[in-house]
Amino acid sequence: MDQKNPFKTSTKVTWMFDWGDKDGKENYWSHLTAKIVLFIYGGCLVLVFIYSLLQLSLSIAYARSKKRKSQEVKPVYNPETALTVTVQLPMYNEMYVAERIIEAAANFDYPREKFDIQVLDDSTDETKDLIAKKVAEVAARGIRIEHIHRVDR
């Protein structure tokens, strides 16, 4: 044992390629395997780097478009020039959701004189009665709503 260097160390940089070395003899296949693994690893690093560059370019494009969109002039809403809108609600035996759908359509924020709701009902169960009741309730609030019921499909 050496007093100056109690630990036997080597400054050899090629420690990665010493796989399978036995008694100072190199093994060809272990060196080839090490080189293949390092090549695949390096290729993966390059692919990850390219992917991160693409993500960076997407982030930069998003920031630019957000800035551009905030500077756009938004059109002024004019209720007099708004178009007439008709919302059609097709239903067939929708007992559990019919009232909620009609209520959601009735709560649209649009000028009432230019907004129509048509409930197109083909129900064959008690849903038609629930819809008729809800339509009458919404119509009493001044919203133009119409219940159209077909007997046969």
pLDDT at 136: 96
Q: Tell me, what's the pLDDT at 81?
A: 85
* Residue 23: Cβ-neighbour burial (10 angstroms; 0-12, 13-18, 19+): exposed
Phi-psi region of 142 (alpha: psi -120 to 50; beta: other; left: phi over 0): left
CA of residue 117 relative to chain centroid, distance: 31
Residue found by looking up tokens 């756009």 in the block: 72
What tens digit of pLDDT does each residue of 34-81 get? 889 999 999 999 999 999 999 999 999 999 999 998 888 888 888 888
Work out the average pLDDT over 17-31: 63
Q: What are the pLDDT digits (tens) for 120-139?
A: 999 989 999 999 999 999 99
Q: Is 70 exceeded by the pLDDT of residue 4?
A: no
Is pLDDT above 70 for 19?
no
Q: Which residues have C-beta within 8 Å of that of residue 117, sequence separation ≥ 6?
A: 86, 87, 89, 102, 105, 106, 138, 143, 144, 145, 146
Question: Strand ranges (DSSP E) for 34-143?
Answer: 85-91, 115-121
Nearest residue to 144 via CA among 85, 101, 64: 85
- 27: pLDDT strictly greater than 70: no
Please give the pLDDT value at position 101: 96
Q: What is the pTM of this model?
A: 0.53
Please report the pLDDT score of residue 80 as a whole number. 83
